[in-house]
Amino acid sequence: MATSRGGRSGGGAAGRVLGYLESRKNLAGSACGVVGLGLTLAGVAGAYWPVVVAGLYGAGALIAPPERAAPPPFDPSEELDVLREDFARLREYLGEVELPEAAGSRRAGLLELYGALLEPGWVAEVLVTEPEAVHALSRAIRRDVPECVDTYNRTRWWNRLTPGGESPERHLERQLGLLFEEAESVTADLREAEARRQQTHTAYLEERGRS
């Protein structure tokens, strides 16, 4: 057991040493140290050449830019795959709850629009290039719609015990209507992005034709 731990520890230390030898700091320090050796051979450093070489090495290591870890690669399409799974769970959940007729029609229209935006194909390829649109869709599917339905069911139960006040059904219908308007806005923004892309290509072709 002790031998195994020692082997791993030694391997880790060796890896750190090798990493430093390949680092920018060591390379920059070594380059400056070579300059110090050149000064020594030229007779400039004199008897203090070890101090000169070490000092130049240290100076080079200090001014070298720090090592920077590369950020992990993220595939935006993977986010849509996960969002599609959450959307499927949302549809299953909404299929099990009882909603008033007006809110039910709002729910159907909202789910149809979400489904069209998330359908694999060129529309989703446009969607994935717009992070704000993906965020708005994700927020609505994972939080807003479930919260609307859940608070409606709880408020309706309390309203049966103590009637009065604003209708929970009216609130739910309004909430789903606002979410539908937001989804329409997201769709309009995506359409506008495609229109700008088309206009840019037209301008490019016109400019190329003039040249």
Mean pLDDT of 91-111: 90
Q: Which residues, other chains included, contact 33 with Cβ-Cβ below 8 Å and sequence gap of 6+?
A: 53, 54, 56, 57, 60
Q: Which residue has the tokens 């700008």?
A: 196
What the block records as the tokens of 89 is: 């769970």
Q: Residue type at 204?
A: Y
- pLDDT-wise least confident of 32-46, 86-100, 117-131: 32-46
Q: Residue type at 196?
A: R
Q: How confident is the model at residue 118 (pLDDT cuts 50, 70, 90)?
A: very high
State the average pLDDT for the chain: 80
Dist CA 40 CA 52 (whole Å): 8
With a cut of 60, say whether residue 32 has pLDDT above it.
yes
Q: How confident is the model at residue 48 (pLDDT cuts 50, 70, 90)?
A: low
The answer to whether the Cα torsion of 161, 163, 169, 172 is positive or negative is: negative
pLDDT tens per residue across span 143-189: 999 999 999 989 888 777 677 777 889 999 999 999 999 999 999 99
pLDDT tens per residue across span 1-25: 444 444 444 456 665 656 655 566 6
- How many other C-beta atoms can be found within 10 angstroms of the C-beta atom of residue 198? 10
Determine what percent of the chain falls in helix, strand and coil, rounding each to the nearest 5: 85, 0, 15
Domain boundaries, the chain: 14-63, 76-210
Continuous H helices in 64-97: 76-96
Q: Residue type at 38?
A: G
What is the secondary structure of 128-173 as a DSSP string? TT-HHHHHHHHHIIIIIHHHHHHHHHHHHHHHHHS--SS-HHHHHH
What the block records as the tokens of 197 is: 């892309």
Mean pLDDT of 80-92: 94
Q: Which pLDDT belongs to residue 44?
A: 63
Mean pLDDT of 59-69: 65
Kindly state the percentage of the chain with pLDDT values over 70: 67
Q: Which pLDDT belongs to residue 16?
A: 66
Dist CA 66 CA 64 (whole Å): 6
What the block records as the tokens of 168 is: 């929970």
Reported pTM: 0.63
